[in-house]
Structure 1
Amino acid sequence: MPRLTLFSPTPPDLSAFGVRSLQASLKAAGCDVRLVLFPGSIGRLREDGSFAYRYPDRLVGEALDLAAGSDLVGVSFFTSYFDRAVQLTRAVRDRLGLPVVWGGIHATLRPEEGLSHADFVCRGEGEHALPALLHALARGRGAEAVPGIWCRHGEEIVDNGLAPLVADLDSLPFFDFSGDNQFVHAPEAGRIVPLSPEVLRRALPQVPYRDGRLLRVYRTMTDRGCPHHCAYCNVPTVKALFRHGPTPYFRHRSVPHVLAELRDVTRRYPFIEGVQLFDDTFFSRSLDWIEAFAAAYKADIGLPLFCQASPATLEAKKLDALIEAGLCYVEMGIQTGSPKMRALYRRPESDGQVLSGATLLHARQGRLLPPDYHVIIDAPWEDEEDLLATVRLLARLPKPFGLAIASLLFFPDTALYAKARAEGRIRDEEAAIYRRPFFIPPRRTYPGFLLYLLTFQRIPKRLLALLQTPRALAIGKRLEPSPVYKIIYVLGESCRLAAKGAGALRHGNVSRITGWLARLWRHDPVAAGRKG
């Protein structure tokens, strides 16, 4: 039986949808596949790109012991985990002499770069391409005839096109959460351990719920792709690669398939207390699909439900059907209030649509937790008036709400990457993209200070209005650059942290405090852009 070991540097929640789907499909294809997850944050990345993550040599040695004897090692990763992927790849090739295949969106968009580090690149979806590659290698054949697998023949790159899309997502097995032949770097233990139910329980994300409680949630995805065309996202870039193919890139699973997965995982792990649908725009489904899902979910699962939306897809009938089924939280992407930046981001929503969506959520206050709204800052084309437009829009939205603030990243080959590259804004890609932090605190300008104030729930609207008057704006502008905004940010975050700690103690959530202390001890802070 051919054997593959999958390495995946991944965010701390261990969702790792891509490699879990690959492991399940490889097992179904008769392969022996081992999964090793390396959870870690990106909170230590610096604005100048000077910090690179690196695993301790002892940890790499443990990973190599698990990979020894494999026919092939796969490495799948997000762009921000590039350095860690390169380190693991070099170790496998240099110390084990085994071939390595790269996969994931980054590798799909950068196959030539991938072949400068790995032996193969899987370009496209790997559920069928990887078993074909593994069987070919086990039989002593090359990869030249495997669709979607790029390789080298001497100095020449062999372009094998794209691995075809899986037309019917229901034909795939569920994400593999069995724990069978799965391992994880456990930071608290300082070593790689089997992914037992207890290890998974500790790693599952804990999200805020009512009465100050935290719920352990299972994250899943019910679709692939996205209906939107955002210029900062690499999903439209990948979608464009398949635009002439027979299968649409945006696909979703059926209600019975999704419910069967949720029944299986909640029965297997009774400590799961909620379900978080990680689809970017779950509300893009038809009303019939949503209503069928809501009825089945209420009858079979009944746990608190969390999901994401966009202003263009949020509708009252869909929202109410899901609330009846247990939906308790919605986060929504707004990104900007500036018409100029909306056009640049290819976000067609108007202020009216954003306000309408926020009003829908606020009207169901009590049944829904306060929403979080996503915004993007730090685009080089965004001036202070653009950021003020975002502040003014957010100030019109009904409180309470939280903000999830992200600094713009030029993910490879997106529309904004191409624009920045053409304008000479990207010189060193590793520093400017792969090692750039996902969140840079808004503490340098007066509009950034106003945006930061909106992360607090009890700032009076009159005060916010006063701070946006021409005179206040002129005074605030004169304070740039100044340590004042940095000091305010530090004081604000200290107060926020103290309030969260007090709330955790009041509700008996000691684990929230110990978890924060453990991350502090390990020097592994999370990206802190989500505030509320």
Structure 2
Amino acid sequence: MAKGLFMYFDIETGYYPGLHHGLAYLMGSVNQDHDIRFLHIFSENHLLEAKDLIEKNDWDFVGSSFTTNQRKYLWELFEKTDVSNQFVIGGGVHPTLDKENTFKEFPEFDAICVGEGETSFLELCNRLDNGQDVSETPSFIFKEVDEAGKFKFKKNPVAPLMHIDDLPFPDYTVFDYKRIIKDGGNVFAMMLGRGCPYQCTYCASSHLWKEYPNPENWVRFPSVKRSIELIKRNLALYPDTQSIIFADDTFTVRKDWIQEFCAAYKKEIGLPFECNARVETIRDEVCEALKSGGVTSIDFGVESGSEWLRNNIVNRKHNNQRIIKCFDFLEKHNIRGFSYNIVGMPFETPAMMKATYELNRHHLKGARYGRAFYYYPYPGTGLHDLSVKYKLLRPKIENLTGYLEAPTVLEVHASHKEIRKWFKKINLLFAVRLMCDRFYLPRAVSEVVVSITQLFWRPLAEIVEPDKSNVVMRNINKKLKLIVKRFRKPGHSVYDSHEVRKIEVSQIQDEIQGEEKKMDNLKEGTIFSEERERTNNPLQL
């Protein structure tokens, strides 16, 4: 039986520390026959616990899963911890997207795992247990020393993508799941499907599929039978669950699956739920199925009100009217909308950020809650490469750990003051809408309150979206959230258990009518061929 330690870094991301669905699946796979300890590191105080666990135990391996914006904490851990006698492995989004630099950034790593790890980590554990050569394990890159004493790298083929029905069930008990779900308002976040067919240049998901020998299977949905079984198993862990969030990147990508799933969900589960969607996938029949199944809120990546920025920089080929039409569908079916937005993107001007605010303020009245995030560059993505090419990124952005902390771009197209202004105005807009809904104010009254608060946005925004350095305002903000949290309906949950990296992703499509036809024809295990052809030129500038 292999004995290992697996750490997940989740500190100061701007989200309440939540469940990581991929790691829950991985732990459900390896812990069936092995003894793997899991440590969810969501506070700097946990680094000392990690140091003790590493140094006081003889592990077969010590694994770390992390995103780009969590590197500083891994550096801090390795600086204080003796790992010289351990077999150290890196995994997660950052090592997968930036393999070569990961070994340079972290000389402590003996290997990195590329992509999904359920089958490859299980094989690694089996090889360790049986005394076999671990360097033959698929999906791993191993650092070795040649005869001259120099480092060389053994890159093994990446294991094929597995059908979700063939994977073991996720094990959420490795997390402090009761606290996480309770603090989230008894909302249980789960993930059913995997993959996204869209090609946003800022998103890691649009590049991860290229790692696999069977990328046509990147977009995968479990059978409806398996989905219902998974949900029931999860609910048995936390019977007080009042609502579910399906954290799939694009839950509505297959209309046929949605219709079948919602019918079964209504009959066998019956809890209200939220999900993520793309505006192109929302039509009357989809809303009808979701509403019948119990959906209360749908989250969308609006990202920007500038069509030029969305089309030419971000690779989201739909116009503002399509976004407005989508939220009109939600209003028609009495479904709340959640609007995700990004400010401070490369080439974004103050006028473009204002357009994002205006779109949400005046045209998306159905967006009852939402968020603005600062752009964060992930190495290996198209927008990161473009930012590097034109020297648009600030130095030392590795010290930024979340999406709510500070702008990451230089003051070329907009000052940081302007970026912060629109970041705070947009977040104040959604916070006030949420408050009005929580107190059941009529829509007309809500709009009056929004108008008044926007006149005094500067002092109010400091309460709603305090700077990280403003300790007093951050404490006030926390107390207000605890008060508002008591009014759970209506409105989006105040504490969000969504996956940390969850930002809506998108696809290039030329005409709305053509987009919808393709969506109708999309079957499981396919990726749009047009998107795959664009891989080598994702920006289309």
Number of corresponding residues:
449
Contact residue 371 and residue 427 of structure 2 kept, 8 A: no
Query: Any residues of structure 2 matched to 1:224-239 within 5 Å, and which?
Result: 224-239=194-209
Match of 1:444 among 401, 417, 420: 417
SS of the aligned residue for 1:265 comes to helix
Distance, in Å, in 1 between the alignment partners of 2:404 and 2:68 is 15
1:321 CA drift (Å) = 1.3
* Residue 32 (structure 1) aligned with residue 35 (structure 2): yes
Deviations 1:351-407 (A, max 9, x none): 111011110111233xx3x32201110113111221222233221222562221111
1:320 deviates by 1.6
Rounded to whole Å, the distance in 1 between the matches of 2:367 and 2:224 is 33
Cα deviation, residue 36, structure 1: 1.8
1:415: Cα distance to partner? Answer: 0.4
Structure 2 counterpart of 1:320: 288
Which amino acid letter does the alignment assign opposite residue 72 of structure 1? Answer: F
* Residues 272, 296 of structure 2: 8 Å contact kept: yes
**Matched residue SS, 1:372:** strand
Tell me which of 449, 454, 460 is aligned to 2:429.
Answer: 454
The code of the aligned residue for 1:391 comes to Y
Deviation at 1:237, TM superposition (A): 1.4
Residue 385 of structure 1 aligns with which residue?
351
The 3 A distance-change label for structure 1 pair 434 and 140 is: farther
Contact 2:370 2:427 in 1 (8 A): no
Match of 2:99 in 1: 111
Q: Would the aligned equivalents of 2:112 and 2:142 in 1 still touch at CA under 8 Å?
A: yes
Percent identical among aligned pairs is 22
> Which amino acid in structure 2 is aligned with residue 224 of structure 1?
R
Match of 2:116 in 1: 125
Equivalent AA in structure 1 for residue 72 of structure 2: D
Q: Which residue of 1 aligns with 2:151?
A: 156
In structure 2, what is the Cα distance between the partners aligned to 1:391 and 1:248?
37
Alignment of 1:243-258 (within 5 A): 245=214, 247-258=216-227
- Write the letter of the residue equivalent to 2:378: F
Structure 1 residues 302-342: Cα deviation after superposition (integer angstroms, max 9, x where no partner): 11111111111122212221211211111111111112211
In the other structure, the counterpart of 2:65 is: 76
Is the partner of 1:419 in helix, strand or coil?
helix
SS of the aligned residue for 1:134 comes to: helix
**Is 1:398 paired with 2:365?**
yes
Question: Residue 143 of structure 1 contacts residue 151 of structure 1 at CA under 8 Å; is this kept in 2?
Answer: no
| Secondary structure in 2 matching 1:312 | helix
In the TM superposition, residue 507 of structure 1 has moved relative to its aligned partner by 8.2
Question: Partner residue of 1:169?
Answer: 164
Partner of 1:296: 264
Q: Which residue of 2 aligns with 1:281?
A: 250
Question: For each residue in 1:84-117, what CA deviation from the matched residue of structure 2 results, as whole angstroms up to 9, or x when unmatched?
Answer: 233445666x157211111112111122233323
Is 1:219 aligned to 2:189, yes or no? yes
Describe the SS at the equivalent of 2:417. coil
Distance 1:143 1:441 in 2: 42
CA–CA distance in 2 between the matches of 1:313 and 1:411?
26
Report what 2:520 is aligned to. Answer: none
Which of 35, 53, 59 lines up with 1:63 in the alignment?
Answer: 53
Find the partner of 1:307 among 275, 279, 299.
Answer: 275
In 2, Cα distance between the equivalents of 1:56 and 1:389? 42
Contact 1:150 1:157 (C-alpha < 8 Å) held by counterparts: no
Give the whole-Å Cα distance in 2 for the aligned partners of 1:316 and 1:153: 57
Letter in 1 for 2:224: V
Q: Secondary structure at the match of 2:31?
A: helix
1:21 aligns to what?
25
Higher alpha-carbon deviation: 444-453 or 122-131: 444-453
Distance 1:246 1:424, change over 3 A: closer
What amino acid is the match of 1:163?
A: V
Aligned partner of 1:341 in structure 2 is 309
Deviates further, 301-310 or 80-89: 80-89
> Residues 294 and 142 of structure 1: is their aligned pair in 2 closer, same or farther, counting only changes over 3 Å?
same
Contact 1:9/1:76 (8 A) holds in 2:
yes
Instruction: For residue 228 of structure 1, report the CA deviation from its aligned partner.
Output: 0.8
- Over 3 Å counting, the alpha-carbon distance change for 1:109 and 1:454 in structure 2 is same
The one-letter code sitting in structure 1 at the alignment partner of 2:274 is: F
C-alpha contact 1:60 1:91 (8 A) present in aligned 2 = no
Cα 1:157–1:137 change in 2 (3 A) is farther
Q: What is the rounded CA distance, in whole Å, between the counterparts of 1:450 and 1:87 in structure 2? A: 35
Between the aligned partners of 1:341 and 1:20, the Cα distance in structure 2 is 36
The residue that corresponds to 1:203 in the other structure is 180
Partners of 1:390 and 1:300 lie apart in 2 by 40
* Matching residue's letter, 1:3: K
C-alpha spacing 1:281/1:151, structure 2 compared with 1 (3 Å): same
Normalised TM-score (structure 2): 0.74
Q: Match for residue 373 of structure 1? A: 339
Query: What letter is aligned with 1:60?
Result: A
After TM superposition, give the deviation of residue 444 of structure 1 in Å: 3.1
Give the Cα–Cα distance (whole angstroms) in 1 for the partners of residues 425 and 90 of structure 2: 43
Shift of 1:60: 3.0
Q: How many Å apart are 1:140 and its aligned residue?
A: 4.6
Task: Report Cα offsets for 1:459-481 as digits up to 9, x if no partner.
Answer: 449969x99xxxxxxxxxxxxxx
Question: What's the secondary structure of 1:84's corresponding residue?
Answer: helix
2:142 maps to amino acid: C
CA deviations on 1:211-261 (whole Å, 9 max, x unpaired) are: xxxx3121111122111100100111112333x636522222111111111
- State whether residues 72 and 134 of structure 1, in contact with CA within 8 Å, keep that contact through their aligned partners in structure 2: no
Structure 1 residues 271 and 89: alpha-carbon distance in aligned structure 2, compared to 1, 3 A threshold: farther
The separation in 1 between residues aligned to 2:264 and 2:186, in whole angstroms, is 22
Q: Deviations over 1:158-215 (max 9, x none)?
A: 24244223331110011112x3xx4x6xxxxxxxxxx5xxxx32222655xxxxxxx3
Which residue of the partner structure matches residue 358 of structure 1? 327
Q: For 1:432, give the aligned amino acid.
A: I
Query: TM-score scaled by structure 1?
Result: 0.75
Counterparts of 2:384 and 2:205, CA distance in 1: 13
Amino acid of the residue matched to residue 25 of structure 1? S
Taking a change above 3 Å as real, the CA distance of residues 360 and 205 of structure 1, as seen in their structure-2 partners, is: farther
Structure 1 residue runs of 5 or longer lacking an equivalent are: 41-53, 185-194, 208-214, 468-483, 516-525
Q: Which amino acid aligns with 2:110?
A: D
| Secondary structure of the corresponding residue to residue 239 of structure 1 | helix
Q: Which amino acid aligns with 1:425?
A: L
Query: What do residues 137-159 of structure 1 show as CA deviations (whole Å, max 9, x unaligned)?
Result: 44555443222211122133324
**C-alpha separation in 2, matches of 1:295 and 1:56:** 43
CA distance in 2, matches of 1:273, 1:329: 14
Deviates more, 1:294-303 or 1:158-167: 158-167
**RMSD (Å) for aligned C-alpha atoms:** 3.4
Secondary structure of the structure 2 residue equivalent to 1:331? strand
Where does structure 2 lack aligned partners over 5 or more consecutive residues? Answer: 408-415, 434-445, 466-472, 504-541
Deviation at 1:504, TM superposition (A): 5.2
Decide whether the 8 Å contact of 2:19 with 2:180 is kept in 1.
no
